[in-house]
Amino acid sequence: MLNECIFCKIIAGKIPCHKVYEDNNFLAFLDIAPRNPGHCLVIPKKHFRWVWDVPDIGEYFEVVRRIEKVIEKELKAKYVMSIVWGEEVPHAHVWLVPRFEGDNVEIKLGEIKKLGEQEMKRIAEKLRKALK
């Protein structure tokens, strides 16, 4: 299963991502199928099927909170939704989806916004700099 896990491949550097944050235990990157610009995924580097299986869940959610605060400030989001779905990829992950005034986004599986490569790079760089 680990050899097939797309998030494990991203952690191993086998699949590129727009990295926003990384430490010894966690990685955050922009979702390739964003619900809004700045939609991030925060994952543990060690493979766990569910968020609730992460041994130090407090540390995990401290990282999630830190990234949420930066997304809100840097992207001028009205607020940031956090979603623990876990259905689409069998690796623990938290979605952070910025919400903007009048964005009319309904969070449903399968609905995405198309962002260009340059826009993804710009957002990732802005968030990464603010998280240093």
So which residues are the catalytic ones? Answer: 93
Q: In what order do the strands lie in the sheet with 19-22?
A: 19-22, 26-30, 40-44, 94-99, 79-83
**Amino acid symbol at 108:** K
